[in-house]
Amino acid sequence: MKLYLYDHCPFCVRAEMVAHYKRVPVEQVYLLNDDEASCFALIGAKQVPILQFDDGRAMGESLDIARKLDELGDAARPIRPHGDYLPIQEHINQVRLAIWCLLFPRDIALDLPEFATQAARDYFQVKKEQIIQRPFAQALAETAEHKATVEAMLASLPPLDPPSAHGDTLGWDDVLLYPGLRNLSMVKDLAFPPAVRAYIEAVSRLTATATYFDRAI
């Protein structure tokens, strides 16, 4: 099986987490961000992640893929059912614009495989600048302002339920919450409360997914 994805994409990280945690043998293939043709050939839409089975069939939608990987994976490593993650997600969403302004310009500056060409970086930048309604250069110049907004959100984040509280097992809440928090690790010197940083690092280890702390910008 092949899992087509982008390194920076939180939806892709959901699938990657479950594939690793459940020990499903998949080949991870990083598409260029402007490679529309491959996506359309596989599922008829410009969308990742995409899971392609050995017989050539393919499926999209991150949570559908995650559930399929859970079904195919090691039965001795169950994923805990959902808890009350919505208040945490809603709290994070309140500062979504500030998060986007921090992350989008950094996505293309981290030497990620999906941005290996100038064309791929330009494709992404044009689309994301429309979303944040400002040039990337302006968003970067506003880093201090956006960091302060995000740091205030993190400081008041409802408590996260760490894997250590459940025998170092993964939960479906982690599949939803960790990818977005993990991406914030690409912002240099962003102040994470100790418990939030510990949660990110614990889920990273459990799922063998990389953070960006060591190369933050």
Q: Per the structure block, which two tokens stand in for 16?
A: 């990657």
Question: Hey, where are the domains in the chain?
Answer: 2-72, 86-215
pLDDT, position 84: 87
CA distance 190 to 70: 33
Cβ-based neighbour number of residue 144 at 10 Å: 8
Q: For the domain with range 86-215, which CATH number is right: 3.30.497.10, 1.20.1050.10, 1.10.1660.10, 3.40.50.10800?
A: 1.20.1050.10
CA distance 2 to 129: 31
CA distance 58 to 158: 37
Q: Which residues of the chain have pLDDT under 50?
A: none
CATH class of segment(s) 2-72: alpha beta
pLDDT digits (tens, 9 = 90+) for 114-162: 999 999 999 999 999 999 999 999 999 999 999 999 999 999 999 999 9
pLDDT, position 103: 98
pLDDT, position 21: 98
Radius of gyration over alpha carbons of the chain, in Å? 17
CA distance 23 to 208: 10
Residue (of 59, 69, 53) closest to 14 by Cα position: 69
Bridge-based pairing of strands 27-30 and 50-52 is unpaired
